[in-house]
């Protein structure tokens, strides 16, 4: 396991695909797709609490068994075996012959981790040699990389040499999922001698002694991850959110649940921290509830803006790094934007496009402010405008078939956002990096059909 030498939205009924509002199900369907959620995760609270002024809570949902009877369990093994069960091999098989981060190619834990960190999480290749797997924490720490005992999706899990079942060179793996309150992690790993292709996904439970295989890692290494959009979904039938930190097939990286149905998920960088927080909009009362982080807890901002049953939107209207909120009125195609996260009048109001479109927000020009746009579900056409004013579209193009759910996100990690669409019939995401007609840059399935798709940067920098 070395680098050079070792071998390791309110009605009582909710239809799949959108949140419905009395007498206006089609418009509220667009609510869920409109907000340009750059990170979307969760929440919910009975409406009576929102109107009464009580502080809403964002509720983290348990995603695994309440008790764990064994230290670890293998979820899948082999490249095709894992892919077939919804656990991504990240296509390492056909790429295993190449060296990443100057590691030994092939069935090596270090080369696999370097590959996933580079290709999936877009970590820059270190300008130094990390050494054997067991040397990674010390070497990374010496070069300013955070090394601690806190698991995180995308982090590198490391076991020191001499740990049960671990050879003298140590071992590394990729953290694919973290359970509620860090009760468990799910890892993907290479160089497992008893596995098909030497590959598996394993769940490791916390709280077991360090003498049992496969025990909790000794360290977690947090290489800086570049900002890049990924996807998720909201299930209106259960009020649950599931997001994935990479744009490829696989299970959810983490999830949250809401107390009630009929809310619209939102996401945005409310604090200017270069990482999105979560929130929701209650269309029945026009209340926004926003939280600076993606974890459970009290809302940092709770306020009413606009009339009821509008379509909420989120974007950077001022170039101050912090996002503001707004709403789109489908009756007349008008955008109402507010810079601050408080009750008050709109900072700017303008009309763009015909009524009954799906509003969009994104950084089309690569500048410091977001622009707006709309998607025409009748023909699958995107109409985007760089400035927050009335006028003609800066660019217009068709992508995908009609009646899809549009998405906006920074898929390529550059200065501009890309677009995409979600097909609710088969839960397939079609993402395109450039703002032009053409083929999808990536296509993959995530979650069940009939969900409300989400898009966002779940990790940040």
Tens digit of each residue's pLDDT (9 = 90 or more) over 67-99: 468 899 999 999 999 988 889 899 999 999 999
Residue 79: C-alpha distances to residues 223, 239, 321, 390 (Å): 25, 33, 41, 51
CA 163 to CA 42: how far, in whole Å?
38
The pLDDT of residue 260: 63
User: Average pLDDT of 387-405?
Assistant: 97
Cβ atoms of residues 6 and 135 within 8 Å: no
Are 25-62+226-456 and 72-222 the same fold in CATH?
no
Tens digit of each residue's pLDDT (9 = 90 or more) over 315-328: 999 988 899 999 99
User: Average pLDDT of 308-336?
Assistant: 95
User: Average pLDDT of 402-423?
Assistant: 92
The residue count of the chain comes to 461
pLDDT of residue 219 exceeding 90: yes
**What are residue 204's DSSP bridge partners?**
72, 185
Domain boundaries, the chain: 25-62+226-456, 72-222
Percent of all residues in the chain with a pLDDT value above 90, rounded to a whole number? 57
pLDDT of residue 26 exceeding 60: no
pLDDT of residue 414 exceeding 70: yes
Residue 367: C-alpha distances to residues 195, 224, 236, 347, 417 (Å): 48, 23, 35, 20, 11
Higher pLDDT, 453 or 62: 453
Tens digit of each residue's pLDDT (9 = 90 or more) over 377-395: 999 999 999 999 999 999 9
- Top mean pLDDT of 163-172, 213-222, 251-260, 412-421 is at 213-222
Higher pLDDT, 9 or 344: 344
Give the mean pLDDT of the chain. 83
The pLDDT of residue 277: 78
Q: Does domain 72-222 have CATH number 1.20.1250.20?
A: no
**What are residue 157's DSSP bridge partners?**
173, 220
User: Residue 57 corresponds to which tokens in the numbers above?
Assistant: 């809570």
Residue 259: C-alpha distances to residues 49, 235, 239 (Å): 11, 13, 7
Query: Domain 25-62+226-456's class?
Result: mainly beta
The pLDDT of residue 9: 27
From 100-114, 128-142, 257-271, the region with the lowest mean pLDDT: 257-271
CA 326 to CA 286: how far, in whole Å?
11
Higher pLDDT, 8 or 433: 433
The pLDDT of residue 36: 40
User: Average pLDDT of 230-253?
Assistant: 81
pLDDT of residue 63 exceeding 60: no
Higher pLDDT, 257 or 114: 114
pLDDT of residue 255 exceeding 80: no
Tens digit of each residue's pLDDT (9 = 90 or more) over 29-47: 334 344 343 332 222 322 2
């Amino acid at each position: 396991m070395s680098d050079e030498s070792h071998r390791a939205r309110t009605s009582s009924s909710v239809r799949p695909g959108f949140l419905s509002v009395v007498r206006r199900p089609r418009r509220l369907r667009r609510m869920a797709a409109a907000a340009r959620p750059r990170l979307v995760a969760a929440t919910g609270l009975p409406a009576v609490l929102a109107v009464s002024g009580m502080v809403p809570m964002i509720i983290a949902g348990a995603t695994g068994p309440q008790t764990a009877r064994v230290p670890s369990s293998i979820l899948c093994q082999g490249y095709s075996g894992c892919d077939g069960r919804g656990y991504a091999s990240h296509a390492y098989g056909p790429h295993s012959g190449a060296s990443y981060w100057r590691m030994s190619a092939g069935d090596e834990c270090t080369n696999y981790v370097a590959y996933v960190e580079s290709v999936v999480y877009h970590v820059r290749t270190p300008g130094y040699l990390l050494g054997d797997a067991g040397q990674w924490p010390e070497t990374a720490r010496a070069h300013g990389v955070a090394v601690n005992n806190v698991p995180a999706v995308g982090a590198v899990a490391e076991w020191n040499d001499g740990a049960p079942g671990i050879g003298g060179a140590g071992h590394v793996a990729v953290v694919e999922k973290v359970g509620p309150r860090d009760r468990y992690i799910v890892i993907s790993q290479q160089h497992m001698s008893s596995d098909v292709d030497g590959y598996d996904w394993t769940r490791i439970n916390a709280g077991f002694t360090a003498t049992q295989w496969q025990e909790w890692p000794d360290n977690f290494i947090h290489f800086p991850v570049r900002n890049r959009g990924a996807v998720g979904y909201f299930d209106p039938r259960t009020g649950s959110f599931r997001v994935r930190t990479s744009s490829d097939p696989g299970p959810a990286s983490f999830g949250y649940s809401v107390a009630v149905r009929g809310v619209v998920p939102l996401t945005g960088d409310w604090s200017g921290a270069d990482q999105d927080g979560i929130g929701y909009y209650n269309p029945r009362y026009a209340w926004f509830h926003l939280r600076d982080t993606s974890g459970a807890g009290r809302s940092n901002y709770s306020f009413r803006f606009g009339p009821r049953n509008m379509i909420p939107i989120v974007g950077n209207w001022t170039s101050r790094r912090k996002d503001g909120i707004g709403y789109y009125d489908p009756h007349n195609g008008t955008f109402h934007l507010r810079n601050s996260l408080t009750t008050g009048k709109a900072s700017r109001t303008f009309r763009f496009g015909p009524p009954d479109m799906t509003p969009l927000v994104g950084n089309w020009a690569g500048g410091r402010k977001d622009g707006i746009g709309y998607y025409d579900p009748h023909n699958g056409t995107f109409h985007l405008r760089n400035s927050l004013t009335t006028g003609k579209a800066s660019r217009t193009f068709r992508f995908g078939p009609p009646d899809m759910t549009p998405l906006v996100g920074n898929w390529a990690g550059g200065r501009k956002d890309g677009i995409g669409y979600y097909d609710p019939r088969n839960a397939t995401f079609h993402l395109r990096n450039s703002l032009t007609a053409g083929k999808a840059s990536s296509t993959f399935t995530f979650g069940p059909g009939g969900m409300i798709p989400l898009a966002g940067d779940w990790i940040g920098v």
